[in-house]
Structure 1
Amino acid sequence: MKSHQRTTRWLIGFFLLVAMLLPIHSAFAQFDDNSAAQGMLIFLVTLVVFAIILIPAIFYLLTLQKALNRCSPENRAMTPGMVWLLFIPFFSIVWHFIVVLNMAKSLDAEFKKRGIPEEPEPGKSLGLTMCILGCCGIIPILGVLCSLGALGCWIAYWVKIAGFSNKLAMPMSPWGVGGIPPTAPAPLA
């Protein structure tokens, strides 16, 4: 049954991709001299550019989902599958803020439960900076700088969440993360 669901999801995704690319192709095609070869080239270039953007986004969302999966269910502020709602245009602008806040709450609760020393609400400040800079990207002229800053913060946030996820994947020892037993106090003479 899972294989059938996975195949259905990929087919739906493929048709959504084609549905998003056809208007772009049509917009470029009206400027052609009706050459089929030129139209196909424009379509392929559009497809490659879209794939270059889509592939890192998929891996980013997989990283977020994995980090949430590594948190115990009682510590999760959101279900891991909800990160995929970031693919919804316009809605994702607001949803990214919610994902960042819930990720910080989930990681904070999980680190506290496991006794792992970490900053409070890990990744929250960097994630919110990323979201705010992304929103400021629509400002004329200044938006280019904000978008570049958002891209840098996005990469840094991705790396930071991956690090937190790896920290949660480490096996726990009786003495906490790292496996170093506590030192006994020196005997009083």
Structure 2
Amino acid sequence: MNNTYGEFGATEAGMIIGVMLALLLLLAIPTIFWLLTLQKALGRCRVENQAMAPSMVWLMLIPLFNIVWQFILVINVSKSLKNEFESLNVQPDTAEPGKAVGLAMCILNVISAIPYLGSVLGIGSLICWIIHWVKIAGYSSQIASLHVEQAVFTEET
């Protein structure tokens, strides 16, 4: 049977599925690295300072649930970092590390579903996501170095 205009054959359907899977993989890779960064940051906080367990970041991979969970995740990572900095007697650059840009990312992400505005808001969300990722990685590195300094100090005394 010949394909006529508007009908898909098995080859075309396979190509479409292949492209969709490739795009999904392309989006999943940076998301996984972002989640690893958040997990590492939470893991560097002492257990008593963690507002959530580090493994809870992976709940972001649950479709639809992640719409709400992203807000909870950003808030709890910020709380954990704040608690850890306070216990180390260090003042971070903001009162709630990563919270403002993280919430901006979440809000832009949700409202990017608005027709016509979505693409612009989606770009804003992407920019906030990158900034949040970099900030959390920086705070995580700062906490790791503070733990090393504290360990060296306690060994010397």
TM-score range, shorter chain: 0.7 to 0.9
More displaced, 73-82 or 133-142?
133-142
Does the C-alpha gap of structure 1 residues 91 and 31 become closer, same or farther in structure 2, counting only changes over 3 Å?
farther
- Output the CA distance in 1 between the equivalents of 2:28 and 2:152: 42
- Output the CA distance in 2 between the equivalents of 1:40 and 1:138: 28
How far does the alpha carbon of each residue in 1:2-24 deviate from its partner, in whole angstroms, 9 at most, with x for none?
xxxxxxxxxxxxxxxxxxxxxxx
How far does the alpha carbon of each residue in 1:50-81 deviate from its partner, in whole angstroms, 9 at most, with x for none?
11001011101000000000000000000001
- Output the CA distance in 2 between the equivalents of 1:140 and 1:37: 32
Q: Secondary structure at the match of 2:95?
A: coil
Tell me whether 1:42 sits opposite 2:19 in the alignment.
no
Q: Secondary structure at the match of 2:103?
A: helix
- Output the CA distance in 2 between the equivalents of 1:44 and 1:140: 27
Does the C-alpha gap of structure 1 residues 51 and 117 become closer, same or farther in structure 2, counting only changes over 3 Å?
same
Tell me whether 1:167 sits opposite 2:132 in the alignment.
no
- Match for residue 64 of structure 1? 38
- Match for residue 108 of structure 1? 82
What root-mean-square deviation, in Å, do the aligned CA atoms of Structure 1 and Structure 2 show? 1.8
- Output the CA distance in 2 between the equivalents of 1:143 and 1:122: 27
Any stretches of 5+ residues in structure 1 without a counterpart? 1-29, 177-189
Q: Structure 2 length normalisation: TM-score?
A: 0.85
Out of 103, 123, 129, the residue aligned to residue 154 of structure 1 is 129
- Match for residue 182 of structure 1? none
- Output the CA distance in 1 between the equivalents of 2:119 and 2:140: 31
Does the C-alpha gap of structure 1 residues 31 and 57 become closer, same or farther in structure 2, counting only changes over 3 Å?
farther
Q: How many residues align?
A: 145
- Structure 1 counterpart of 2:52, one-letter code: M
Deviation at 1:40, TM superposition (A): 3.1
- Match for residue 139 of structure 1? 114
Residue identity (%): 48
- Structure 2 counterpart of 1:133, one-letter code: L
Deviation at 1:143, TM superposition (A): 1.9
How far does the alpha carbon of each residue in 1:77-134 deviate from its partner, in whole angstroms, 9 at most, with x for none?
0000111111111111111000111111100010111122202110111111111111
- Output the CA distance in 1 between the equivalents of 2:79 and 2:12: 51
- The higher-RCO structure (CA 8 Å, 6+ apart) is 2
Out of 77, 84, 95, the residue aligned to residue 120 of structure 1 is 95
